Structure 1
Amino acid sequence: MNQPERFPPVFAPPNVTVRGLGVSRGERVLFADLSFEVQAGGVLLLRGPNGVGKSTLLMTLAGIVRPDAGEIEGIGREDVHLLTYQSGLKGRLSVSENLQFWRDMNGATGTQLDEALERVGIGGLAGLEAGYLSSGQLRRLALARLLVSARPVWLLDEPSAALDAAGERLLGALIDAHRGAGGIVIVATHHDLLLAEARGVETIMLGGPA
């Protein structure tokens, strides 16, 4: 008999270490000589006004953008989930089909589809075409991608956008569970996260004083 899956999985403790990182966009330097470390169970908040490079930093950590200088240690592409405002969801596919696609792409190492959809509060919408979802429901579906494929590092770009108060509490609970299992979360956000534990939460201010 198959053993029931549980969330979250327990990760081997990773450490993400960045040394002297620099990235430019054309002639403009977004950031230079950026260094930080995030240990297992840690949360790093990336703050700063729009356009200073928060999203670019996440894509650099994910291996999508090549830095001009510096080193990133402790993670590879197979270790990260990158969740951006561009959800990558297909409107003509059902909620369940969209999630199945991403589970197939990223690996069936997490929870079952129906369990993930229940956890994010859209279990009753599994058969509905994703194009009919509200912005908040689309964000919840994107969050479900984090659950069906277990990866130790979550890179989240404005994850609370379009979420109502209940959705923000859900996001905080998912992050709490992930970091409690040894995972790392790096978040570009203008908003405070509703986390149960402030310990282990650090902030980097881009484009301005620390």
Structure 2
Amino acid sequence: MEMIVSDLACARGGVPVLEGVGFRLGAGQAVILRGPNGIGKTTLLRTLAGLQPALRGDISVPAETIAYASHADGLKATLSARENLAFWAAVYGGADVDAALGAMNLSALADRQAQNLSAGQKRRLGLARLLVTGRAIWMLDEPTVSLDAASVALFAGVVRGHLARGGAALIATHIDLGLPEAEVLELSPFRARPRAEGGIGGAFDEAFV
């Protein structure tokens, strides 16, 4: 299992934001995406996950190996924590729901409706979905939003366990997850350049046609 990205360009709302992005992500590896707000971290993740087309470049990775987690927790409010995970486990082919609950310290809340969980508990339940997908590559967009320090450490341990089992992770985050083995990919050097004097031109104009 390996993701190979070469000369990738991607856009937000028709406007190019990143170009020339290239890296490799293999089994047991984690890459942290860094850069200022608005640089295009979310856009890059969505492009790599196949949720939007690339402007150009190559992404070599089997689609069925990717699990993408965005800012949204993706929970059904009236279902219990266990029922929410059972739904996603069925979608992805079935996995150990109780193990996923335990890994994110949610076992005691297994029968509580998602709407009655705190913001941090909902976030942990949303992240527990990753464990029932069986997917090798986790793509995570600011996964620690709403998590306290203890929960961040818990999640970092889950990621380390995933890497130890031969998985991989690509994570956009502003905080230190305590993953010293992770490589950092700074996106500032890949910021898209203006296409014409006095403006972006080209694809920028196309966004307003």
Aligned residues: 191
Instruction: Rate the CA distance shift 1:208–1:132 in 2: closer, same or farther, 3 A.
Output: farther
The counterpart of 2:46, out of the listed 45, 53, 59, is 59
2:185 alignment counterpart: 204
Structure 1 unaligned residues grouped into runs of 5+: 1-13
Deviation of the 1:124 alpha carbon: 1.1
TM-score (norm 1): 0.86
Tell me, in whole angstroms, the C-alpha distance in 1 between the residues paired with 2:190 and 2:67: 29
Residue 140 (structure 2) pairs with residue 153 (structure 1): no
Tell me, in whole angstroms, the C-alpha distance in 2 between the residues paired with 1:207 and 1:24: 15
The counterpart of 1:23, out of the listed 2, 6, 10, is 10
Which secondary structure does the structure 2 equivalent of 1:38 belong to? Answer: strand
2:106 alignment counterpart: 122
TM-score (norm 2): 0.86
Say if 1:48 and 1:208, in contact at 8 Å, map to a contact too.
no
String of CA shifts for 1:126-179, please: whole Å, max 9, x gaps. Answer: 111101111110111012111122110000111111111211111111111111
Which secondary structure does the structure 2 equivalent of 1:168 belong to? Answer: helix
Which secondary structure does the structure 2 equivalent of 1:91 belong to? Answer: coil
Residue 123 (structure 2) pairs with residue 136 (structure 1): no
Which secondary structure does the structure 1 equivalent of 2:138 belong to? Answer: strand
Question: Which letter does structure 2 place at the counterpart of 1:22?
Answer: A
Residue 103 (structure 2) pairs with residue 103 (structure 1): no
Deviation of the 1:27 alpha carbon: 4.7
Which secondary structure does the structure 2 equivalent of 1:139 belong to? Answer: helix
Instruction: Rate the CA distance shift 1:208–1:20 in 2: closer, same or farther, 3 A.
Output: closer
Residue 75 (structure 2) pairs with residue 89 (structure 1): yes
Task: State how 1:41-60 maps to structure 2 within 5 Å.
Answer: 41-60=28-47
1:36 alignment counterpart: 23
2:205 alignment counterpart: none
Residue 55 (structure 2) pairs with residue 68 (structure 1): yes
